[in-house]
C-alpha cells in the first residue's frame, strides 16, 4: 500500500461530520487534509524525524486544548503538532490551530488554512470549535513566541490568558505540551520587523545562512497530563493569571524534562 | 390570515404567494414588475410601493400580515434609485403598517448584511454588526434598510416585526444573486481563495418564511439551510468550470469575455465567506431544510443547462 493511500485512509478515519463532498460544516476538506499530510508526513518522518511522547494524554475524542510553547521562527511547530495528531493518534485527530490574522489575507494561504481547519485566532472560533468537541491547538505566546531568537529557544515569553477563560467556559481539558528543537531547525539570529510589515507579516526571521528555511534538526513533542480547571470563565484577572501560571510552569517542566532526556540522547 | 406580499413578482415571492394561498390564506401582492401568470385567487396590483396607490391598498384591504420583499440587490441596479427603493420603500412600508393596523411584518433581508472580511468569524450570529462595508459601498443601502427595519422592534411595539437574513438561494429555475453568477459556462474565482457559500433551495426559503409568519416570530433571525460548501464545489457540481484568476486580472475581466458582472468591491464576496448561524431561527420556528447541499446543486444543474457551445 502506498503512503499516499494510507494518508487518504487516515483522512477517511477522521471523526468529523463530512458531507457527500468530503467537506465538514467548517469547510474542512478530506481531500485537502490528505494532500497537506502527504507533504507534512515527509517532513515529519524523514526530514525532522519527529519523536512524540505522552500521546496517551491526548483524549481520543471529545473537546481538548493542546497548549504549548513556540519553537522556531514560524509556525513549523504548529504544523508538526497537527501532523503528530494526524499520524500518531488512533483514530487520527485533526488539531485545529488558531492562526495569526494576517494569514487569511494571503491568496493560497487563505485557501489552505480554510480547507484544513486552521482558522483565524478569534474567540468566536475557539468557542464554537470546542463546543463542537474539536481539538484546539493554542500557542499562548502568540507571534512573540515565534520571534524568539536562537539563544532564547528554551525560554517562554508572556502567555495570553484568553485560552484559560475559554477552557473554563467550555469545560475543556488542557493538554500541555513542550516542543523541542524548533530553535535549532530554524536558528533565528534576528527578526526584520520593518521588512515584514512591507509584506504584511509581523516580521521576517533571519538565520546565519540568511534564508528562513529550516535545517533538518530532530524535533520532539512531549505531551503532558491534562489539566482541568473548574470555573465559569468570568473570574477576576488575578485568578486567571494563577491558572495561566500553572499551565506555563507545567510546560516549562516538560521542556526541562525533555531537554535533559534529549541531551542524553543527542549527547549535546 | 390576510397577507400582503411586497415585491410579489420576484421568483421566491411568487412561490411564497402560491404556498400561502394553498395553505388557506388570503394573499395579495404588489410589484412594479408584471406577473401575468398570477394564479387565480391571488390579488395582484402593479404599483410602486412608494406611491400613493400602494398606500391605498393598505387602507382599503387592511392586510393583517405584510412580507416585505421589495428590495433590490447591488447587482441588478446601480446608483441612487436602488437606494431610494431599498430605503424609502422600506420606510413607506413600515409607516403604512403602523397607520393601517398591520399586526405582523416580515422584512426579508440578506445574509450579506455581515460583510465578507478576512478577520471575521466564520459563523455570524445575529448580534454582530455589519462589517467591511467600505469594501462594498453598493451594499450600504441594503444594510441600512435591514437596520432600519429592525428599529420597528422598538418604534412599533404593537407590531410583531421580524428581520430575516436569508442566505444565497438556488432554485429551478434559479433566480437571485448566486444563480446569476452561475449562469455562464465559466465561473471566475479569485486565485488562491475558495470561500464557503451557504445555499438554500427556493422551496426551503418559502417554507422558512411561511413558518416565520405562522409562528409569529419577533426579532432578528439568520435563515440558512444545509451546511456551507466551498465555492469551487458549487461551481463544479452545477456543471460549470471554475476559472481561477489573479485578483488584479479578474477585476478587469468582470462583465467582459462572458464573465458575470460584479463590482470590484464585491470581489471580497468571492474571496471570503459569509456564513450564518441559523440556530436561533430553527429554535424559534422548528424549521428543517428539505433539500441538502448535493440535491440543491444537482437540481440547479438540471434546470439551468450550460448556455451555448464551449468556446
Q: What would the pLDDT profile of A21-65 be if each residue is shown by its tens digit?
A: 999 999 999 999 999 999 999 999 999 999 999 999 999 999 999
Q: Which residue is listed with cell 474565482?
A: B189
Q: How is residue B235 written as a grid cell?
A: 461551481
CB distance B123–A128 less than 8 Å? Answer: yes
Q: Which domains does chain B have, with CATH numbers?
A: 2-173+199-225+275-289 (3.40.50.720)
Say what the pLDDT of residue B309 is: 55
Q: Which fold has domain A51-266?
A: Glycerol-3-phosphate (1)-acyltransferase (3.40.1130)
Which of A23, A107, A114 comes nearest B191 by C-beta? A107
Q: Long-range CB contacts (< 8 A, 24+ apart) of B145-149? A: B145/B71, B145/B86, B145/B87, B145/B89, B145/B90, B145/B107, B145/B109, B146/B107, B146/B109, B146/B110, B146/B113, B148/B87, B148/B90, B148/B91, B148/B94, B149/B68, B149/B90, B149/B94, B149/B105, B149/B107, B149/B109
Q: Answer whether A107 sits within 8 Å of B292, measured CB to CB.
A: no
Could you tell me which chain B residue has the CA closest to the CA of A126?
A: B121
A71 versus A124: the higher-pLDDT residue is: A124
- Band of pLDDT at residue B177, cut at 50, 70 and 90: confident
A124 touches chain B (CB under 8 A): yes
For residues A268 and B243, the model is more confident at B243
Closest CA to B207 of B2, B52, B23, B83: B23
Q: Which residues of B touch A120 (CB under 8 A)?
A: 118-119
- pLDDT tens, residue by residue, B184-201: 888 999 999 999 999 999
Q: Do A104 and B123 touch (CB under 8 A)?
A: no
Chain B residues lying within 8 Å of A27, measured CB to CB: 122, 196, 228-230, 273
Q: Which residues of B touch A110 (CB under 8 A)?
A: 118, 192-193, 271-272
Q: Between A and B, how many residue pairs show a Cβ–Cβ distance under 8 A?
A: 68
Instruction: State the best of A16, A18, A19 to mutate against chain B, taking most chain B CBs within 10 Å.
Output: A19
Nearest chain A Cα distance for residue B280, angstroms: 15
Inter-chain CB proximity B233 and A21 less than 8 Å: yes
What are the φ and ψ backbone dihedral angles of B241, each rounded to 5 degrees? -115, 120
Report the alpha-carbon distance of residue B120 to residue A114 in Å, rounded.
13
Contact A29 B196 (CB under 8 A): no
Please tell me which residue of chain A has the smallest CA distance to B234: A21
Predicted confidence (pLDDT) per residue in B94-106, tens digit: 999 999 999 999 9
The one-character DSSP state at A57 is G
Asked whether residue B311 carries a pLDDT value surpassing 50, the answer given is no
**Taking CB atoms and an 8 Å limit, are A107 and B247 in contact across chains?**
yes
Q: Do B193 and A125 touch (CB under 8 A)?
A: no
Least CA distance to B227: which residue of chain A? A25
Facing B293 at nearest CB: one of A19, A24, A104: A19
Q: What percent of chain A has pLDDT over 70?
A: 97
For CA atoms A205, A207, A213, A217, the dihedral sign is: negative
Of A27, A29, A104, the CB nearest to B228: A27
Percent over 70 (pLDDT), chain B = 96
pLDDT given at position B148: 96
Interface probe with B: pick from A110, A119, A125, A126, most Cβ of B within 10 Å: A110
Q: What whole-number distance in Å separates Cα of residue B97 and Cα of residue B93?
A: 6
Contact between chains at A120 and B119 (C-beta distance less than 8 A): yes
Test B121 with A108 for CB contact under 8 angstroms: no
Q: Among A28, A35, A84, which Cα is nearest to A55's? A: A84
pLDDT for B243:
93
A109 CB neighbours in chain B (<8 A) are: 192
How confident is the model at residue A144, as a pLDDT?
Answer: 81
ipTM above 0.85, yes or no: yes
- In this structure, are residues A129 and A122 in contact, taking their beta carbons and an 8 Å threshold? no
pLDDT one-digit tens code per residue, B224-279? 999 999 999 999 999 999 999 999 999 888 878 777 777 777 889 999 999 999 99
Which residues in chain A are contacts of B118 at CB distance < 8 A? 101, 104-105, 110, 120
Identify the three-state secondary structure at position B122: coil
Q: Is B230 in Cβ contact with A115 (below 8 Å)?
A: yes
For chain B, the maximum distance between any two Cα atoms, rounded to a whole number of angstroms, is: 59
- A200 interfaces chain B, CB cutoff of 8 Å: no
Would you say residue A1 has pLDDT above 50?
A: no
Nearest-CA distance A150 → chain B (Å): 31
Give me the residue spans of the domains in chain A. Answer: 51-266
Instruction: Check residue A207 and give its pLDDT.
Output: 85
Amino acid at each position: 500500500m502506498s503512503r499516499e493511500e494510507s494518508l487518504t485512509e487516515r483522512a477517511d478515519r477522521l471523526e468529523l461530520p463530512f458531507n457527500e463532498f468530503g467537506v465538514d460544516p467548517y469547510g474542512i476538506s478530506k481531500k485537502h487534509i490528505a494532500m497537506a499530510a502527504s507533504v507534512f508526513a515527509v517532513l515529519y518522518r524523514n526530514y525532522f524525524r519527529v519523536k512524540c511522547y505522552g500521546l496517551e494524554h491526548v483524549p481520543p475524542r471529545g473537546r481538548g486544548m493542546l497548549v504549548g510553547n513556540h519553537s522556531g521562527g514560524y509556525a513549523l511547530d504548529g504544523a508538526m503538532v497537527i501532523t503528530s495528531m494526524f499520524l500518531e493518534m488512533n483514530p487520527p485527530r485533526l488539531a485545529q490551530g488558531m492562526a495569526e490574522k494576517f494569514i487569511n489575507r494571503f491568496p493560497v494561504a487563505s485557501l489552505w488554512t480554510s480547507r484544513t481547519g486552521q482558522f483565524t485566532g478569534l474567540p468566536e472560533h475557539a468557542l464554537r470549535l470546542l463546543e463542537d468537541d474539536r481539538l484546539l491547538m493554542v500557542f499562548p505566546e502568540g507571534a512573540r513566541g515565534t520571534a524568539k531568537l536562537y539563544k532564547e529557544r528554551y525560554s517562554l515569553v508572556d502567555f495570553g490568558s484568553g485560552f484559560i477563560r475559554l477552557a473554563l467556559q467550555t469545560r475543556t481539558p488542557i493538554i500541555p505540551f513542550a516542543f523541542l528543537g524548533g530553535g535549532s531547525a530554524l536558528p533565528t539570529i534576528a527578526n526584520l520587523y520593518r521588512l515584514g510589515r512591507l509584506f504584511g507579516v509581523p516580521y521576517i526571521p533571519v538565520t546565519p545562512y540568511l534564508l528562513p528555511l529550516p535545517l533538518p534538526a530532530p524535533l520532539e513533542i512531549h505531551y503532558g497530563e491534562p489539566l482541568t480547571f473548574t470555573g465559569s470563565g468570568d473570574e477576576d484577572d488575578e485568578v486567571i493569571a494563577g491558572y495561566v501560571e500553572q499551565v506555563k510552569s507545567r510546560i516549562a517542566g516538560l521542556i526541562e524534562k525533555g531537554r535533559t532526556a534529549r541531551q542524553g540522547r543527542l549527547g549535546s | 390570515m390576510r397577507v400582503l406580499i411586497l415585491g410579489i413578482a420576484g421568483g421566491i415571492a411568487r412561490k411564497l404567494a402560491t404556498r400561502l394561498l394553498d395553505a388557506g390564506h388570503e394573499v395579495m401582492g404588489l410589484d412594479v414588475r408584471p406577473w401575468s401568470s398570477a394564479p387565480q385567487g391571488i390579488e395582484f396590483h402593479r404599483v410602486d410601493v412608494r406611491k400613493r396607490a400602494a398606500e391605498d391598498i393598505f387602507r382599503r384591504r387592511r392586510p393583517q400580515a405584510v412580507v416585505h420583499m421589495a428590495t433590490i440587490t447591488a447587482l441588478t441596479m446601480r446608483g441612487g434609485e436602488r437606494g431610494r427603493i431599498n430605503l424609502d420603500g422600506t420606510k413607506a412600508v413600515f409607516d403604512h403598517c403602523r397607520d393601517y393596523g398591520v399586526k405582523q411584518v416580515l422584512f426579508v433581508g440578506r445574509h450579506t448584511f455581515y460583510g465578507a472580511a478576512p478577520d471575521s468569524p466564520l459563523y455570524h450570529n445575529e448580534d454582530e454588526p455589519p462589517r467591511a462595508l467600505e469594501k462594498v459601498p453598493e451594499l450600504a443601502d441594503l444594510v441600512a434598510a435591514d437596520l432600519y427595519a429592525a428599529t420597528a422592534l422598538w418604534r412599533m411595539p404593537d407590531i410583531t416585526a421580524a428581520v430575516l437574513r436569508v442566505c444565497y438561494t438556488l432554485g429551478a429555475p434559479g433566480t437571485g444573486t448566486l444563480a446569476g453568477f452561475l449562469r455562464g459556462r465559466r465561473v471566475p474565482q479569485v486565485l488562491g481563495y475558495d470561500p464557503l457559500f451557504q445555499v438554500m433551495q427556493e422551496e426551503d426559503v418559502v417554507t422558512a418564511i411561511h413558518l416565520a409568519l405562522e409562528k409569529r416570530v419577533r426579532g432578528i433571525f439568520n435563515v440558512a439551510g444545509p451546511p456551507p460548501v466551498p465555492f469551487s464545489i458549487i461551481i463544479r457540481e452545477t456543471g460549470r468550470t471554475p476559472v481561477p484568476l489573479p485578483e488584479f486580472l479578474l477585476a478587469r475581466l468582470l462583465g467582459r469575455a462572458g464573465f458575470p458582472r460584479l463590482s470590484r468591491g464585491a470581489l471580497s464576496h468571492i474571496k471570503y465567506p459569509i456564513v450564518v448561524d441559523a440556530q436561533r431561527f430553527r429554535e424559534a420556528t422548528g424549521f428543517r431544510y428539505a433539500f441538502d447541499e448535493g440535491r440543491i446543486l444537482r437540481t440547479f444543474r438540471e434546470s439551468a443547462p450550460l448556455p451555448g457551445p464551449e468556446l
